[in-house]
Structures are given as structure tokens and as C-alpha cells.
Chains A and B, each alone.
Chain A
Amino acid sequence: MRTARAYFPNVEAPVLQRALSRLVRDRVFPQSVQISQASWDSAVRARQQIGDIRGPAPYERSVTAQFTHQALAR
């Protein structure tokens, strides 16, 4: 709540509290820095559908996991 208040000083505390509850309930916060292929492909499909991305954007060429294992291990 303290952090949320700092970012949104003009929003009333009860509204912020409920907003945070909603974010938690909807599982908006990821648990780790890992980007799954499914979540990547899903995002790319959306951009392709709208025309923001015209060509392919394959996971294996765009995302690397070589650093995430290390970050998760600590």
C-alpha cells in the first residue's frame, strides 16, 4: 500500500486497497522473471492480429533464459 500511495498520491486509500486486491485476485503480478513460451506467443499473436508485428517473432530468437535461471537460484 505504501508503494501504491507513492505512485498514486491522488487516489483515495480505499480505492487503492481495492485496486491492489483486484490485481492480486486476477493474478496480474508474475511470480518470476521467467517468460513462458505460451505467454510470449500469446502476446505476439495479439500484436500480429492488430498489425503491429507483420512478420514472425519466434520465442527462441527473441527470449533468452540464460540469465533467468541464475536470478531464480539466488
Chain B
Amino acid sequence: MAVFATVVPDTSMQPGFEVVSYTHPRPMTAYTYTMLFLSSCGLGERAVSRHSDKAGTELAAYRAEHNADFMEGVDTTISDPGVPRRSEVVYSWPETLGDRTFSGLMVRRTTLSNRREQISAALRAYQRALDDIGRLIRK
């Protein structure tokens, strides 16, 4: 049995499945990308036993428990030394996906008409933050 996790697996799980996946509930991003990853590995729905759990239990708990064979996530702290000892990053979503939208500022259509200045202000704030990040990166 191989265990893929984006959340901490249940340690009382019983063997008998080829692949067990523990991830956040659908339609959270972690769920979507876990399923895409498993699919890209040739593991279709029938090959995987899927379990969902709440968000927010990712890396820290994984490091403590270390009871999964593979972990997938978009957590900031997933870096080569950020994963548990004796583990390493073997797959990069940015390398695999290229330019892809992960989030955006969503507004109602009525807000688009009625609160234009607030929307502009929010976007300016985001852009300033991105500019600051860009400046820090170039330093």
C-alpha cells in the first residue's frame, strides 16, 4: 500500500488498497491537484481509496507523524529541507503547470458597477504588494 497525503493519514487505516489518498474535501485546490497528480501517475479513480479531512493539517503534522509515503501540497513551507528528514521534493507544480491562475479577486457583477473605486483600490494594493515582492527578489 502506498499513501499519498495532503492531510495526515489515519494511523488506524487497514491495509488492502493499492493506493490510499488523504486530501482536503472537494472542491478545495488540494483535492483537485491531488487527483490530477494521481491521474498523471496512471492511478485512476478505481485504483485509489480517497479520504478527505479538514484543511490546515499539512506539513507540520506530516513532519511529526511521517506516516505517509508521498505528500503533495501547495504549502509555502514545502521546500527541500522543509519536508521531513530523509524526504525530498521530487515534483514541482510550477515546473509542471507553467503559468496558471490559482486565485483571483472575485466580485459580484453588481459590485463591478457600484463599487468601482473599492475594486480599484484593492487591485492597486495587490499590485503594490507584488511590486514590493519583485523588488525584494531583485535585491
Contacts and interface: CB of A to CB of B under 8 A. Distances in A.
Question: Secondary structure at chain A's binding surface: helix, strand, loop or mixed?
Answer: helix
B112 A33 contact: no
Nearest to B97: A42
A60 interface: no
B79 A22 contact: yes
Interface residues of B, number: 40
B82 A15 contact: yes
A45 B6 CA distance: 22
A51 to B, nearest CB: 9
Given A29-B134, A63-B104, 7 more contacts: A8-B77, A32-B130, A39-B99, A49-B36, A50-B32, A67-B119, A74-B124
Interface of A: 4, 7-8, 10-11, 14-16, 18-19, 21-24, 26-33, 35-36, 38-40, 42-43, 46-47, 49-50, 52, 63-64, 67-68, 70-72, 74
7 contacts: A15-B82, A19-B79, A23-B76, A33-B126, A43-B100, A46-B36, A49-B36
